[in-house]
Structure 1
Amino acid sequence: MILFRLFLLLDAVLMRLPHSWRRALFTSLARLARFFAPSRNRVIRQNLRFAFADTLTEEEINAIEYYCYRNLGLNLLQVMENRHYTTEDFTKRVRFENREQVDELLAQDRSIIFVSAHFGNWEMGATALSALISPTTSIYKAFKREEFDPYLLESRTPHGMDLAEKSGALKHLARALKNGNSVSLMIDQSSNSRHGVAVDFFSHPTYHSSTPAILSYKYNAPIVPLYIFTDDEENFTIRFENPIEVESDDAQGILKATQEQANTLEKVIRANPKFWFWCHKRWKSDYPEIYAG
């Protein structure tokens, strides 16, 4: 509890500083973290070699590795700043592409399953979605130190996001969809045969979460992928991809819809590889050997 109180004191001090100062501090800390994290740097390079084979130069790999840490620092800063944001703050900094399709679905009173990834400023993206487009129910993973959980919730729930802890979250997602509400999910984490189906992802058979497709068919809720982009780390564009309608809940129907999601994610990552969170062991369930050594 003492640690948390000290953290709140730090939060209060930092939020009195100009935004540019906070950003400079967090990006500096990110550079420092990279220097002291050789094992995590190795994971980044193992992922990149596995995904892109030998098509990336050493210069490109270094740039992606550097930005992984910078982007994580910016996301941590966003969690802090979201607690103090108003709807107007999001409106000033975020614009949307292909919003018409989403507005049309919402006008039909259809629930939507928004799917995204740890890509770009995902904290800005998820919260702006709930604040400006539609309230959503989402999943979060509780901290080991439970006193920090309310801090995270205060960053998201005031902006229309209802959060369910990861353990047992499926029933909360199902309830939201049954009640006509939308949900948002991150679909880029490592999966397995229990929670996913095998799709082609970066030219490798890879388990990918089938939860969006299963829920989509059961509750007649289209899946809408979205990703957030920025050129200057100050102004953001959230781009909605084409809705995915799940045709059946048999094995083929679930696989088809899940492969479509994986295809969209891969396409976005290949076009902008530095924005993805390469720090995590995405293929640990499928190919643990690539992380050896």
Structure 2
Amino acid sequence: MTQTAPKYIRPKDIDNRATFWQRVQWRLETIGWDLLYWGPMKLLGPDRASNFGGWLMKKIGPRLSQHKTVKRNLRLAFPDWTDVQIEQTALDAWESAGRVAGELPHLPSIDPYTSGRVDIVGLDVLDRLKASDKGAVFISGHFANWEIMPATITQRLPDAVMTYRALNNPHIDRRISDLRAAYGTQINAPKGVGTRELMRALAKGQTIALMNDQKFNEGVAVPFFGHDAMTAPGPTRLAMKYGVPIVPVSTVRTGPARFRITFHEPFMPETTGDETADIQRSVQRITDFIEEQVRANPDQWFWQHRRWPKEAWKAAGIT
């Protein structure tokens, strides 16, 4: 598929705050990225890179400070699990994260439609959206390799806008943007400055996609695994403002560099006239979907971030 130049958007404040030595560090990091990570992984091929990345992070992960966060999160989510179950799932979560890193250089060869590595369920959902010319808000979480979802959407809906968290290092951030473009995603909007892009897209009948499974301090408190978690209401607000459906998406790993992606049935947020209550219900519905997917494959979710406030850990007696 012939690609046009991607639309690259970057928050300028990240670069403007950088000191001279920060910029030097960025250059050195980029050299290390190219020589020690990207090049070697490319030589391995997708299957071996996935296996090696998983093996390596399973060794390194438990030595990192985030390992404590992973185990705390798992104890909070699964209070009936034994220490053995917690530790094994924590190791498997590190392996999953390592596989994502190993597969990243090979994304163009894991094409959802031509590589034979991705099973797509619910493709008719995309076709219906394309025929409607109305737009939609796709929501998902950091399941398996979450980079598979954008390409599956944008190769069917080329004008779709994907959100992402910009990396501090502008050189690596640009490399990732170019990779996503080669994979089929032409419009990447970073969180924060990308809000205008999302609104413009929906106003023109295009679709947008956002992750809705990470902590958002200014968000809405909704139960997640039985404990309140601050959750971004942005996807719901956008869907309500433009009168478009929310489409849940899940990704499951079925093998090294192999996946099953499912587009679930769209739903419209309720609009009863009580906006606060309507937003709360929709955010809860999205969060329930995320929880359902995590419970189905707990080893394939990104447990390394602090999804719940520290107070939740303390209330549960988790140290």
Q: Work out whether the TM-score is over 0.5.
A: yes
In the other structure, the counterpart of 1:17 is 44
Q: 1:28 aligns with which of 47, 55, 63?
A: 55
**Cα pair 2:46 2:106 within 8 Å, conserved:** no
In the other structure, the counterpart of 2:210 is 185
In the other structure, the counterpart of 1:8 is 34
> Is residue 98 from structure 1 mapped to residue 122 from structure 2 by the alignment?
yes
SS of 2:167's partner is: coil
Tell me the CA shift for residue 130 of structure 1: 2.1
Tell me the CA shift for residue 88 of structure 1: 7.0
In the other structure, the counterpart of 2:305 is 280
- Number of corresponding residues: 288
Give the direction of change, closer, same or farther, for the CA distance of 1:224–1:91 in structure 2 (3 Å limit). Answer: farther
Q: Within 5 Å, which residues of 2 pair with 1:1-293?
A: 1-10=27-36, 11-37=38-64, 39-53=65-79, 55-82=80-107, 84-85=108-109, 87=111, 91-132=115-156, 135-158=159-182, 159-192=184-217, 194=218, 196-248=219-271, 250-284=275-309, 287=312, 289=314, 293=319
Tell me the CA shift for residue 133 of structure 1: 5.3
Cα shift readout 1:111-160 (whole Å, capped 9, x = no counterpart): 11110011111122333332345542122222222221111101212313
**Cα pair 2:47 2:257 within 8 Å, conserved:** no
Give the direction of change, closer, same or farther, for the CA distance of 1:105–1:125 in structure 2 (3 Å limit). Answer: closer
Give the direction of change, closer, same or farther, for the CA distance of 1:273–1:257 in structure 2 (3 Å limit). Answer: same
Give the direction of change, closer, same or farther, for the CA distance of 1:28–1:186 in structure 2 (3 Å limit). Answer: same
SS of 2:94's partner is: helix
* Unpaired segments ≥5 residues, structure 2: 1-26
Give the direction of change, closer, same or farther, for the CA distance of 1:200–1:19 in structure 2 (3 Å limit). Answer: closer
Tell me which amino acid in the other structure corresponds to 1:164.
Answer: A
SS of 2:135's partner is: coil
Q: How many percent identity over aligned positions?
A: 26
Give the direction of change, closer, same or farther, for the CA distance of 1:128–1:283 in structure 2 (3 Å limit). Answer: same
Tell me the CA shift for residue 233 of structure 1: 2.9
For normalisation by structure 2, the TM-score amounts to 0.82
**Cα pair 2:51 2:102 within 8 Å, conserved:** no
SS of 1:191's partner is: strand
**Cα pair 1:112 1:221 within 8 Å, conserved:** yes
Partner Cα separation in structure 1 for residue 110 and residue 84 of structure 2? 40
Partner Cα separation in structure 1 for residue 226 and residue 251 of structure 2? 24
| Moved segments of 4+, more than 6 Å | none
RMSD: 2.4
Tell me the CA shift for residue 110 of structure 1: 1.8
* Unpaired segments ≥5 residues, structure 1: none
Partner Cα separation in structure 2 for residue 102 and residue 88 of structure 1? 14
Partner Cα separation in structure 1 for residue 300 and residue 72 of structure 2? 17
Tell me the CA shift for residue 35 of structure 1: 3.6
SS of 2:116's partner is: helix
Cα shift readout 1:220-264 (whole Å, capped 9, x = no counterpart): 221101011122233211112221202327112111211111111
